[in-house]
Amino acid sequence: MKVRTIAFIRFLIVLLLLLLVVIDTLIINHLQKKLDQITILTTENDSLRKHEGIDLFVPENTPVYPIADYGIVMQAEDNPHFLIETECKRENGVIDTVKVEYGKIVRILYPEGIETLYAHLNKIFVKTGETVTGSTKVGLTGLTGNIRRSGKPSHLHLELRDAENKTFNPKHRLFFHQGSVKNFLKNLKLE
Ligand SMILES: [Zn+2]
């Protein structure tokens, strides 16, 4: 092969690699934007509050079940105005805590240390300390808590905590580490 031809092929390879880097960067940026959208930041009390779960928009009074075959109810609050302290970022960048009206909630602990928190429930059927199975109806989705003020329709706020008691977005964790959201929702047995 002529020297010029080899040089041209090399040039083409370098061009192709550069193109790949550009495409890769674009894809990463796009994904990053998607992730930012999932971790919704809402303005509340002049602060940026991290939305630490997902909202499942299902018909009001949809039965809610545990996500695993065995669990213990760690907390069951029948108060429609129940408050939970969550992390927020003040306008000056300071990380602070703010109390958010979650409404009626049920918190269940599963064997691997994973916890689910269901919020905005209309009705709860379990008590703190009770053991549950995958088929225990723990409550009905609804409109309690700050939903009315936020203007959002009835939904299930689903929050997950890991063994270190840190909240994580089920969409992030399940998509990237454990499986698909679809599979997760199947396990949630929403009727
Ligand atoms: Zn929510």
Asked whether residue 96 falls in the same domain as residue 151, the answer is yes
Spatial distance between the Cα atoms of 131 and 76, rounded to a whole number of angstroms: 12
Ligand 1 centroid vs 117 CA: distance in angstroms?
11
| Ligand 1 centroid, distance to 120 Cα (angstroms) | 9
Q: Which two tokens stand for residue 105?
A: 């909630």
Summarize the confidence of residues 26-53 as an average pLDDT. 55
Nearest to 64 by CA among 147, 132, 121, 146: 121
Distance 103 CA to ligand 1 centre (A): 11
pLDDT category at 35 given cuts 50, 70, 90 is very low
Instruction: Label the pairing between strands 95-101 and 123-124.
Output: unpaired
Rounded distance from Cα 55 to ligand 1 centre (Å): 5
> Which residue type does 22 have?
V
Intra-chain end-to-end CA distance of the chain, in Å: 68
Q: Are 125 and 107 in contact (CB under 8 A)?
A: no
On whether both 16 and 34 belong to a single domain, the answer is yes
57-79 confidence digits (pLDDT tens): 888 999 999 888 889 999 999 99
127 and 162 assigned to the same domain: yes
22 alpha carbon to ligand 1 midpoint, in Å? Answer: 36
Round to whole Å and give the CA distance between 83 and 99.
6
Ligand 1 centroid from CA 2, angstroms? 65
Distance 186 CA to ligand 1 centre (A): 19
Ligand 1 centroid from CA 112, angstroms: 24
Q: Where are the alpha helices (DSSP H) in the chain?
A: 3-38, 147-150, 170-173, 181-188
Say how many C-beta atoms besides its own lie within 10 A of residue 188's C-beta.
19
pLDDT in tens, 138-183: 999 999 998 877 788 888 988 888 888 777 766 555 443 344 455 5
Give yes or no: residues 10 and 78 share one domain.
no
Tell me what the mean pLDDT of segment 122-131 comes to: 96
Q: Give me the pLDDT at residue 187, please.
A: 58
CA triple 105-112-191, angle to 5 deg: 45
Query: Total structural domains in the chain?
Result: 2
Residue 141 contacts residue 62 (beta carbons within 8 Å) = yes
- Report how far ligand 1's centroid is from the alpha carbon of 71 (Å): 22
Average pLDDT, the chain: 79
Co-location of 84 and 31 in the same domain:
no
Cβ atoms of residues 28 and 36 within 8 Å: no
- Residue type present at position 105: I
Question: How close is the Cα of 50 to the center of ligand 1, in Å?
Answer: 10
In angstroms, what is the span from residue 101 Cα to ligand 1's centroid? 11
Q: Tell me, yes or no, whether 133 and 182 share the same domain.
A: yes
Same domain, 83 and 99: yes
pLDDT at 186 over 70: no
Cα(20) to centroid(ligand 1), Å: 38
Model confidence, pTM: 0.65
Containing structural domain, residue 106: 41-188
Ligand 1 centroid from CA 150, angstroms: 10
Kindly state whether residues 33 and 47 are assigned to the same domain.
no
